Structure formats: C-alpha cells, structure tokens
Chain A
Amino acid sequence: MSDKNLNKKSNLKSEGLKETSDTLLKDSWRKLKRNKLALVGMSIVILFIIVAILAPYLTPYDPVEQLIWTEGAAVKLAPPSADHLFGTDLYGRDILTRVIYGARISLQISIAAMSISVLIGIILGTLAGYYGGIIDDIISWIINVLYAFPFLLFVIAIVAFFPPSLILTFSAISLVYWMSIARVVRGQVLSIKEKEFVEAARALGVKDWKIMFKHILPNIIAPVIVQATLGMGSIIMIEASLTYLGFGTQPPTPSWGYMISAGQGYLAQGQWWWGVFPAIAIILTVLGFNLFGDGLRDALDPKSR
C-alpha cells in the first residue's frame, strides 16, 4: 500500500507540470514561423544587416572615389551592365556599391537613433507610468507638445541650427522619436504595476527602483521590441528624407536619401537607375522592418495562439 502510494506520488509530481516547458522565446518563434509575411520581413532585415556588415567584401568598387577623372567619361551615368549591375552615377561611381554602403549608413544611424530613443523612452515612460501624479503629468505633457510639432520640420529646425554631422542626425531623430517608445512603455507599466506580483514585491519591501527594473521592465520588453522594430522603418525613412532635403548625411558619404535627391533630376532624361535603385532599397528595408515588426507583435502576444 505505502509502496504503491509512493509510486503514485512521484507520478503525481511529473503529472503536475505541463509537459511542454515552452519558454516565451520558443513559443514566439513557433508562432512567428507560421507567419509567412513575417518570415519574409525577417529575411529582408537579416539580409540588410548582413549586407551592411559585409559591404567591403561584397563589391570591388569604392563607394566614394570618383572614377570619372581617371577612367574617362565612358563610365559616367552608365546604364546597368555586367560590370555595374545598377549602373553608375554622374561621377562614375558604381551605384550598387553605393546602395550597399548606404545600407551601412542607414543601419548605423537608425540603430544609434533607436537605441537612444529606447533608452530615453524606457526611462521616462517607466517613471511616468510607475509614479503617476505630477511626474506623469509633466512627462505626458512634454510628449503631447512634442507630438503636436510637425515631426520633420522639428528635426530640420534642429539640424539646420548646427553644422551637419552623423551624430547630429541621429541625435535629432531620437529627440523626436523617443516619445513613441515612451508612450508604449508608460501604457505597459500602468497595466503591469497593477498586477499582484508588483504589490507582492512592495509588500516584501522591495525598493522602488528594483521593482521597476526587476519586476516591471522584463515584462514590458516584448512590446518595446515590437515598437522598436516597427520604428526602425520610420527612422530609416526619416533619415532618408532629411538627407534628401540636404539636412542629413552629407556627400560624398553614400546615402540612399542623397542618391535619390541627386538622381531625381536625371529620371526624366532616362537615366533612371541613379534614383530608382536606392529608392527600391529604402522601400524594401522599411517594408521588411514593418512586416517583421507586425509578425513579432503577434508572436510575442501570449494571448494569440
């Protein structure tokens, strides 16, 4: 009798746990895998990152050196060919090479801008959501006022004031972009802080900052990742727009926005490749980030199956 009981008890223990010990990560990956569009988006994003990292190994040409003076006028504004798959620009530079190096610039600026945005957004959003009251009022007020500013004009105003540089570009972008992260964070913190495990932590005497970092932050990371992924698309777009308008990355640094801006004058004359290829690059990357972000949103949502 007792023997059998013992057996049953250990049986029970294994029974007690669900068979699947899926972590959130595994579970999300399973859901993401089913979403074809998200996989396409993810592939584009990964490709984009690989291209940016491996740029020097992917092309024999130099992105900046103007070949026109050494090689003669033949390569100037050459249409796509076996030598130059995307053709060349007015200065004889290989457009494919510049598009590839452009990915580097885009990625650098958007990751830098996004990192700063996420940092500011998490700090201010968490403070606003957790403490509420006057702190929340002030932060929310700043966000609302900033939101009321025309986004691009605001960045242009900042950039126009200082001499253009890479640091200035991404700082200016993050200065306006942190708000959308902060909003997401604030909303999430508001809902998480009502959870009983946060009350339990307070009842145990856990300090406020530790509650925020240890108990709340890990639980809002998923929506922040989603927001940041979706935001990457927007930031790439903003950077390109700024550069297009002449306020962002300065020539000769290879940048998609600048290439479109320089190439647009030649569109009508039939030399479409200068402007079109970088435009396609932008569209693809932004689309990639958006599809991937959307898929992540569904995959990281524990309620979706």
Chain B
Amino acid sequence: MANKNKEKLVDVKNLKTYFYTEEGVVKAVDGIDFEIYPGETLGIVGESGCGKSVTSLSIMGLVESPPGKIAEGEILFEGIDLTKLSQAEMRKIRGNEISMIFQEPMTSLNPVYTIGDQISEAIIIHKGLSKKEAMKESVEMLKKVGIPLPEQRINEYPHQLSGGMRQRVMIAMALSCDPKLLIADEPTTALDVTIQAQILELMNSLKASYGMSIMMITHDLGVIAEISDRVAVMYAGKIVEYTDVNTLFADPKHPYTWGLMNSIPKLDRDVNRLQAIPGIVPNPLNFPDGCKFNTRCPLAEGKCFTDEPKIVDAAEGHKVRCWRYKDLEEMKKQNVKIYEEQR
C-alpha cells in the first residue's frame, strides 16, 4: 500500500502533451499531476481519447515527434526530469528502470526471432551477460511468469504461442531487467476473461515479489478495482478525480466517475435499465469552454459552461475537478438518479 512518507518514484507535474496537426492543436494531455510511490499500483482509467495512453508514452519518452510534443511540465523519476533527458539517456532508463507492456503482444514481438532470442536480447543489453547466461536467465524468467516447459518455449516463435502466453512473454521481457516501474497499457484488453484473470493474478504476485510500482492503464473499471491501490480518472486530457481505490468506488465525487460506475451492468445487482451517460466525448480539436464534461453532465449549469474548474481536495487524499461535487454529494444521499432515463 502506498506510504505517503515514502519518496515518490514518479512525480508528474502539470504535464501537457500536445499534437500539432494540420487541423489544429490536439491537447491530448492537458495539465495533469500525479505521483507514483514505490511498490504501489496506480490505475489510470478513462475512455478512448482521454489521454491515458499518451500519458504513458510521455513518461516512456515515446511520443511520436512530430506531430507530438511535451509542451509543458515535468516528469520526475527518482528526482530526475525525464523530459529534459537526451534520446540516449532516455534509452538507458527505458527497459532498465521503466518497462512497458502493451495491449497487443503480437505486434510488440518480432515474428522472425524466437522467444529466447528476444528475451535474452533485452538481458544482454541491460545486464551485460553472455548469450549463454542470458538464455539461462530467460528460462528462469519464463518460469517466473508461469509459462510451462520454458526450456522448449524459448526456441519457439511468437506465432506458436497463444495470446495469453505472448502477454506472459512480454511481461517476462519487461521484468528481465528488474524495472522500478512497469507501465501496462491495456495489457488484458485483447485477452479472454479467463486468461485476463490469469494475467492480473500474475501481475499482482510479481508486484509483490519484485517490489516494483505499476502504472495500469485501462478502460475497464473491473480491472482497476482488481489491481490498483490508487486511481486517476481521466476525461478529455485531464484528471477529473484522483484518490485511493476503495474511496473512489465507495464515494465517487465527479459526475463522470459516478456515471461510468452506473453505466456498467453489475453481476450482483439487477437493474431494468442502465443509467447511460448521454452524448459522446467532445472532439479534441474543439473542446467546449468551461468544464470539458459539460456537454454530457446532467449537473452542468452557469459556471460550468464558462469557467474550467481546478482540481481540488474534496477530502483528505481525494482530489476532484468539478464545480458541483458538493451538490452531487447531496443528490447521492437523496438517491437521486442523476443520469435520468433518457430515450
């Protein structure tokens, strides 16, 4: 669990990552602040286009430039500002200190090399071992991520493995250099539920044994609940709510978070009708004035259409970006269905 007295591993301050396209500037990430403590899992949840993946790419220094650019802000990793590092320095950090796994493991693995070749390559680069030692180490890694018959598997090619196995290989590669931070971008989205359960369990157990931090990026609130210690909810390039996982699910303070939670069907509760959030995410080239959620928010009024709310402490360790979070509180108490049934 996060310990606030501990040194921050990652401290992101006012990060802005913009894409300069012909149609205009896309503010994919527009001024976000968060931190990750050693040994914790920070979940970043949001829908497509909310900027969660760009956030992770910014930390990895992998934002395609041009058209992308970190326009402002700092990403402090153990006190060093990653945005100031050269390509070469960043390469050293990537893979050594920070590793990343992606949604689609097939495209992240090179189809013409064996699994063993690919894991050992990472080990050779980062640990300076000989090819033979690296292969041995690879077998060990595959064992740790729960791949059966690792001695055989290292001689196989990516296409011979199933999706779940490939994701395990990716995790093995990512962990082979004992990173301090593992960024997982929708690692289970392409997998079946039973395989997803395997991978999530694996990640949880590895986190415990490696003592690393995880930044989990997903659209799935179920996955968030399963794996995170703290959660940042993103909408339209901003963090709208930021707190620990239990508080978030027990007491969501932002209308968007509240809406998301009510729009998914629950297994243990039957409702006749889901409370859907109306409308769609606004076009990033043409965000509304004021709060960016105002086009869909049932609570939006006056100020919400003119002034953008700042992110504030609604309670100890519970940040929210909303003018009317106190009103929402009241409505929740009175059991008002704020997302009225619309047809």
* Contact between chain A and chain B defined by CB under 8 Å: yes
Contact at A15–B285, with CB atoms within 8 Å?
A: no
Contact at B279–A15, with CB atoms within 8 Å?
A: yes
- Complex contacts, A16 vs chain B, CB 8 Å: 279-280
Contact at B300–A19, with CB atoms within 8 Å?
A: no
Q: Work out how many contacts link A and B, with CB atoms closer than 8 A.
A: 23
CB-based nearest B residue for A12: B279
- Complex contacts, A19 vs chain B, CB 8 Å: 283, 285-286
Contact at A20–B278, with CB atoms within 8 Å?
A: no
Contact at A11–B283, with CB atoms within 8 Å?
A: no
A16 CA / B278 CA spacing, docked (Å) = 11
Contact at A11–B295, with CB atoms within 8 Å?
A: yes
CB-based nearest A residue for B22: A30
- Complex contacts, B300 vs chain A, CB 8 Å: 8
Contact at B295–A15, with CB atoms within 8 Å?
A: yes
- Complex contacts, A26 vs chain B, CB 8 Å: none
**A contacts with B: majority SS:** helix
A191 CA / B288 CA spacing, docked (Å) = 40
Interface size class of A (residues with CB under 8 A): 10 to 19
Interface residues as binary, B266-302 with A (CB distance below 8 Å gives 1, 0 otherwise): 0000000000001110110110100000011000110
A12 CA / B23 CA spacing, docked (Å) = 21
Contact at B285–A4, with CB atoms within 8 Å?
A: no
Tell me how far the C-beta of A215 lies from the nearest C-beta in chain B, rounded to whole angstroms.
Answer: 27
- Complex contacts, A8 vs chain B, CB 8 Å: 295, 300
The answer to whether the Cβ of A18 comes within 8 Å of any Cβ in the partner chain is yes
Given contacts A11-B295, A15-B295, 18 further A-B contacts (CB under 8 A): A4-B301, A8-B295, A12-B278, A12-B279, A12-B280, A12-B295, A15-B279, A15-B282, A15-B283, A15-B288, A16-B279, A16-B280, A18-B283, A19-B283, A19-B285, A19-B286, A20-B23, A30-B22
Where the two chains meet, the residues of A that have a C-beta atom closer than 8 Å to any C-beta of B are 4, 8, 11-12, 15-16, 18-20, 30
Where the two chains meet, the residues of B that have a C-beta atom closer than 8 Å to any C-beta of A are 22-23, 278-280, 282-283, 285-286, 288, 295-296, 300-301
Some 23 contacts from A to B, beta carbons below 8 A apart, are A4-B301, A8-B295, A8-B300, A11-B295, A12-B278, A12-B279, A12-B280, A12-B295, A12-B296, A15-B279, A15-B280, A15-B282, A15-B283, A15-B288, A15-B295, A16-B279, A16-B280, A18-B283, A19-B283, A19-B285, A19-B286, A20-B23, A30-B22
